[in-house]
Structures are given as structure tokens and as C-alpha cells.
Amino acid sequence: MAFNNIDQLDLGTLLQIIFSDNVRNQISEDYRDWENVLMSREGNSLAREYRFQFSTDYGPGAVQYRDPGTSNRSFPDAQQSSISENIAKFKEINTTIDLEYNLWERAQQSPETYAKPLEFEIQNKTIASKRRMAADYYGDGSGVVGKSDGVPAISAGRLVVSVKTGNADRGHVGFFEFGDKLLHYAEDSTAGVAPTVASGTFAYWKVESKDRDQDEVTLSARDAAGAELTVTGAGVADDDHFYRSGQPTIPDLTAPIADYGTLTEVIAGLESLTAGDGRTIHGIDMEGASSGTRRDAGGNVLDVSDIQKVMSLTKTIAGQGKYNWKMMCMAPEAHDTLIESRETDRRFQTVQDNKRGTSYFAYVHNNDTIETYTSEYCPKNRLYIKPENKSSSGKVLEYRGTDFSTVKAPGGSDFHLKPGAAGGHVNNVVSYLQAFGVLVCNHPAAIAVIENFKVS
């Protein structure tokens, strides 16, 4: 017998309905990575670019031994210290809040009753903005979300994409955000082949789900109005790159890249700021004394010996007296791999933090206790160990820029009527948020990076 609710009775619909007090968010609200970056902010720089200088050697050739018993001996040839001026261009990120006009109007008249939809939408857009920047914190500045591994499968009219996980591949499964809009392109920036759909016109892909264990994402095809289309032919080819659909510049990644800092509108993150492959970022050639300290794990499973060796190398290159290394950031899967090492290696210590009410384990290297920290946005084959200056002067990693603020005319309202597609306006109001800034690494060699490892 089918169950009938009480509203099936003659007067049942007159009974009161209970509404919950809030909305249950189904996806992560975590953006700790970007909050950590903001702790390193150096003022609200209202400039078009940030200039800084690097010194890459002390001129050691000017220091030579001489025989004290030889007369008329010459002093060594002069060798000045090497110095370069570098330029970091500011990037801008925009956010749009859209709300029906009648809800907005009633929120002004009766905020205790109608303000919740407005508050809910503003809060969600703030979270989305910070999560986007938290993801780009680990990127290389190209904006690549992920790279297709083979021709995707089709399941129930949707695309199931395997994401490549090679050491040199850009993007990873963690960069795919639930509900995000994507487009696919060939590596040379040529627009990808549109999928074949049962009916309608393809406009973009929408992220429906992701499987971190299998490095797979499920995408639905959508038309311009957001309606789902049934996919019958993938369109996406092997090695196609996925980008967010609103990215203005799609770079040609097969051509030489002049500077990752100006490659696209996307902010360049740790992958470029700590590179050691000779690429250029903010005018810095990432090689020699200017490069990050990286250890290639050779495709093997992440091991505690990799941490020990990369930290010893980092302290040799960057010096031991200037920094304290306190944070070791990795993907959750890499953290799980290290748990096994914790059971047998005495260099791992469990830390009980009474102030924050948390428990975690840390790795001890000489005088440094390095706290483990996980991020969904950190690639599975990368581990970053970041330092702090022992003095208050300068930081290794700096964010120069602003917080999000409303874009409006002086004295104007935060919300504006939304323009209609055919001219005039529609019964909605929009508000625009804007922030701009740039990430700069003042001493790449001080950040230890382990790359090219597997997780068990």
C-alpha cells in the first residue's frame, strides 16, 4: 500500500508546514589556503604593477687568496653582485551577485523577513570567490583545470573524463569545482570539437561529480540557458585541456611562454613561483639561485626520506638562520600515505593544540617542527614546505592586493537593475564585486617542493 501524507485529507492542507532555519550546504566551504595567503598580505597596493629586486650572487670571484711573500701583487679582479629588477603585473578577479528585484525590494522594507535570500547569495558568492583563488594558489597561471586522459566515456548521456596525473601535466581533479562551467581546447588553444547531443546546441560543460580515487570527473553538457543536453558523441579528444568557460585568454601551450606572470588573466601560483625548470615568472628565470628547491621522487611512493632530503637541501641553499619551516602542505591522499611512516619513524610527532582544539602530526627536521596541512587543491604529486621569517621584516610569499569590494559609482547603490538581452532591463538586480592583486615569492629557494611521487 502506498503511503499517503496527511495533506491527502480534506482539510489536511490547512496544517502548518515547518521550514528549517537554514540551508544545508552540500559542498565544502573550505578556503583556508587563501586565508593563509592573506596573512602574508603586504598592504592594499593600488598600483598597476609591483617591482622588486633579486640578488642572485655575491660576486664571489672578487674574493681570492694571495701569497703574502710576493711584492707588487695585484688585487683580484672586481666582480659586482648580480641584481635584477622584476615586475609582477596585478590580476583582477570579478564576481557578480544576481537577485530577483522583488526579493531585494522586500529585503529593504522588511529585513528581518526577507533579507535571508540576499544574505545567502552574497555569502555563497564570497565563498566561491575565495575557493577559486585558493585553487589558483596552486596553479601555474595558465588557468588549466585539467587534461583529458584519452577519449572520455559516455554514461547516461554525460561525459566521464579521466584526468591526467603525470608530473608535467597541468591541472588535476581537485581543480574541478562542483557546478563550475568549463570548455575544452586543444593544447595549442584551438577550440575543441563540440560534443554530439541528441538535441539542442552545446554551450558549455557543467561539473556534476568527481572521483578523487580514480581521478575522474563527470560533466553534463548544457545549452546557453543552462538546460542539460544528452551527449551521444564525446567531442573531447585525448590531451584536450579544460578551462573555465569565462577565461578571456586561452594560451597556446605548445609555443614558448614568455612569462607565466602575464600568460593569462589568472593569478600565477606555487607551481610557477617555486619552479626550477627555467621558466620565467615576473621576469625571473627560475633556474640556479633563483629557482625553487625541488626534489624529484622519481615516480615512487612518497616516503619520509624525501622530506628529510629536501629539507636538508633547502637549508643548505637558503640558509638555516633566517627562517623557521612550520607548514608542510599536501593533498589528503599524500597525507594518508605518510600516516604509515608516522607509526615507525620517530621524526614524526603528534601535536595536541590546546588553543585550537586540534590534533595533528608534525615532522621534526633539526630545530624545525613542521606541521602537516592538507588541501583539496594541492595536486596529489606535490608537497610544499613553506617557511616563515624569524624577523618581522619581509615574507617569503607575499600577496600584494585588495580584498573584495563593491563596484559602484560614488554615492551609488551596491545593486543595479540587470540589463536585458534585447535592450532595457529585467526584473532582477545585480551587484559586482572586484579584487585585484598578485602573488610574489621573494625567495623561491626557501620553499621546499617534492614532486613526481605516487600516493599509496
Structure confidence at residue 357 (pLDDT):
45
Whole-angstrom Cα distance, residue 232 to residue 371?
48
pLDDT at 359: 53
Q: Which residues pair with 389 in a beta bridge?
A: 323
Calculate the alpha carbon distances from 346 to 89, 336, 341, 342, 364 in Å: 45, 17, 9, 7, 9
Q: Compute how many other C-beta atoms are within 10 angstroms of the C-beta atom of residue 323.
A: 21
Burial of 275 (0-12, 13-18, 19+ CB in 10 A): buried
Q: What is the pLDDT of residue 322?
A: 83
Which residues are CB-neighbours of 116 under 8 A, at least 6 positions away? Answer: none
What is the Cα–Cα distance from 239 to 114, expressed in whole angstroms?
48
Are the C-beta atoms of residues 79 and 100 closer than 8 Å to each other? no
Q: Give the model's pLDDT for residue 48.
A: 77
Q: Which residues contact 177 (CB under 8 A, 6 or more apart)?
A: 128, 131, 132, 135, 207
Q: What is the pLDDT of residues 195-210, one digit of tens each?
A: 999 999 999 999 999 9
Dist CA 370 CA 311 (whole Å): 10
Contact 435, 407 (CB under 8 A): no
Q: Which residues of the chain, if any, have pLDDT below 70?
A: 1-2, 18-27, 29-30, 40, 42-46, 111-115, 340-360, 390-394
Cα–Cα distance between 261 and 240 in angstroms, integer? 23
Residue 359: φ, ψ to 5°: -130, 130
Running DSSP on this structure, what letter comes out for residue 210?
E
- What was the pLDDT predicted at 22? 63
E strands, 346-402, in order = 348-353, 358-365, 368-374, 382-389, 397-401
In this structure, are residues 382 and 450 in contact, taking their beta carbons and an 8 Å threshold?
yes
Helix (H, G, I), strand (E, B) or coil at 83: strand
Instruction: Provide the whole-model pTM.
Output: 0.85
8 Å CB contact between 260 and 281 = yes
Three-state DSSP class for residue 291: coil
DSSP state of 252: -
> Nearest Cα to 256, choosing from 330, 188, 154?
188
- Residues 448, 297: contact at Cβ < 8 Å? no
Helices 101-109, 111-136: axis angle to 10 degrees equals 120
- Pull the grid cell for residue 59: 660576486
Between CA 279 and CA 168 the distance in angstroms is 13
Give yes or no for a contact between 253 and 241, defined as CB atoms under 8 angstroms apart: yes
- The pLDDT tens digits for 114-144 are 667 777 777 888 888 888 988 999 999 999 9
